[in-house]
């Protein structure tokens, strides 16, 4: 098969799902053998990051049933206390989160209150960027998990994986990046030996710092992913907006794929999944109830699908900001602080952080941030990734002092 170098690069760029390699120094990415996959030891930890995009309404997720101001401020959007499951300290789980009740009762679930960014920005894009980078310097595009990848000695495309068609900024470092894997398959053409031809051509083009070389290395990574993870289930939908034919929600499809990856003995340490739709300016009650049900089902499905030999996994569930306390009619506008859920066998169960009182809102009518988000992420870094929080969040100072979550 005769394929020119230029055509190879152009074809590679058009590939629908690939191992993403996008950072500032293409020649620095691929030190190592391009795929040394070893089974994790029994003591190795893994992390799943669940992002709820749009700004989750934390007040109707972890309901402050003991706060006398809640029902009056929330009016028609208030969750009736008698439909919830009490979890102590004046809080209750929303009724749609009832499937998580066993995890709470078994001591495998923690709630961090009042989490947010220090300089609250109610733009989805700005707030997401802050959460993903964990940095005050808007000019540094590296993500907090990408900087962890930068500390590793070898490059492995299976080390950190995003389930879906896009690679989140949190998985992009300055020298290394994670991989994006579509649930429905890796999308690498296999007919007439084209995949093998791509791999052969990529192998001869990996040297140097050019974009051609970076693309070649990315194709080699794609070959590793295809070999280890396979083509995916026939007809399985990908992306955050679809569910399976069996009625499984989009998050369940993604988390079951995450469990398959973590149970496969590939040495994967981080998996990121996303559930969208939380920007509930109107029609919040129906939409939010459905999304919380999807979240609960997806989390339960994940833990049920994990193999007994999989590493111990901690799941962190976050959103870029909360919602305004008072409704705007049938919905709520962008807020500030919100809860973060942390689940798994190692977590110190219960309530963490200082719950922001409804009697002391900020000037815009939002819950005040009482817990810097980097204190949560810093705890995860030290407990599960073996790296100091101060190394991942170098400009945060004491703001990144890890919470005692583990």
Fold of domain 31-185+233-400: Alkaline Phosphatase, subunit A (3.40.720)
Q: DSSP readout, 282-318?
A: SSHHHHHHHHHHHHHHHHHHHHHHS-TTSPEEEEEEE
What is the rounded distance in angstroms from the CA atom of residue 198 to the CA atom of residue 11? 9
Strands 371-372 and 350-352: unpaired
Instruction: Map tokens 């280890």 to a residue.
Output: 228
Residue in 153, 152, 190, 195 with CA at minimum distance from that of residue 171: 152
SS3 for 356? coil
**Quick one: pLDDT at residue 22?**
38
**Quick one: pLDDT at residue 212?**
60
SS3 for 160? strand
For the chain (406 residues), the mean pLDDT of every run of 10, in chain order, is 40 38 35 38 78 98 97 97 97 98 98 95 95 86 96 91 94 93 67 63 59 64 72 41 58 96 94 98 98 98 94 97 97 98 97 97 96 97 95 92 96
Report how far Cα 25 is from the mean position of its chain's Cα atoms. 24
Read off the DSSP letter of residue 400. G
**Quick one: pLDDT at residue 224?**
72
What is the rounded distance in angstroms from the CA atom of residue 345 to the CA atom of residue 13? 41
Q: Where are the domains of the chain?
A: 1-20+195-231, 31-185+233-400
How much of the chain is in helix, strand and coil states, percent to nearest 5? 35, 15, 50
**Quick one: pLDDT at residue 191?**
59
For 291, residues 6+ apart whose C-beta sits below 8 A from its C-beta are 52, 275, 277, 278
Q: What is the pTM of this model?
A: 0.85
């Amino acid at each position: 098969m005769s394929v020119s170098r230029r055509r190879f690069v152009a074809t590679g760029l058009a590939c629908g799902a690939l191992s993403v390699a996008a950072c500032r120094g293409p020649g620095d990415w691929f030190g190592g053998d391009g795929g040394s996959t070893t089974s994790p030891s029994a003591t190795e930890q893994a992390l799943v990051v669940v992002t709820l995009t749009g700004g989750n309404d934390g007040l109707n997720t972890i309901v402050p049933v003991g706060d006398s101001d809640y029902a009056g401020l929330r009016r028609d959007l208030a969750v009736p206390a008698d439909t919830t499951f009490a979890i102590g300290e004046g809080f209750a789980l929303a009724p749609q989160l009832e499937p998580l009740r066993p995890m709470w009762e078994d001591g495998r679930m923690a709630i961090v209150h009042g989490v947010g960014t220090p300089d609250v920005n109610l733009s989805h894009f700005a707030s997401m960027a802050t959460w993903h980078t964990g940095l005050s310097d808007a000019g540094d595009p590296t993500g907090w998990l990408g900087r962890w990848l930068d500390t590793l000695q070898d490059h492995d495309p299976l080390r950190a994986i995003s389930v879906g068609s896009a690679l989140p900024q949190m998985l992009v470092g300055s020298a290394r990046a994670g991989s994006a894997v579509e649930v429905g398959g890796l999308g690498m053409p296999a007919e007439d030996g084209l995949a093998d031809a791509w791999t052969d051509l990529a192998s001869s083009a990996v040297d140097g710092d050019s974009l051609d070389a970076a693309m070649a290395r990315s194709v080699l990574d794609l070959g590793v992913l295809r070999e280890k993870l396979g083509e995916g289930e026939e007809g399985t939908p990908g992306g955050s907006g679809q569910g399976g034919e069996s009625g499984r929600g989009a998050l369940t499809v993604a988390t079951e794929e995450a469990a398959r990856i973590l149970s496969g003995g590939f040495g994967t340490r981080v998996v990121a999944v996303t559930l969208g739709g939380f920007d509930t300016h109107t029609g919040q009650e129906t939409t939010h109830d459905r999304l919380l049900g999807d979240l609960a089902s997806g989390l339960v499905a994940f833990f049920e699908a994990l193999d007994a030999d999989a590493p111990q996994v901690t799941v962190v569930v976050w959103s870029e900001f909360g919602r305004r306390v008072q409704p705007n009619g049938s919905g709520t506008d962008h807020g500030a602080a919100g809860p973060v859920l942390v689940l798994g066998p190692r977590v110190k169960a219960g309530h963490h952080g200082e719950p922001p009182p409804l009697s002391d809102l900020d000037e815009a009518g939002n819950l005040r941030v009482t817990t810097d988000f980097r204190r949560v992420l810093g705890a995860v870094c030290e407990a599960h990734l073996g790296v100091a929080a101060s190394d991942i969040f170098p400009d945060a100072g004491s703001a990144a002092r890890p919470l005692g979550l583990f």
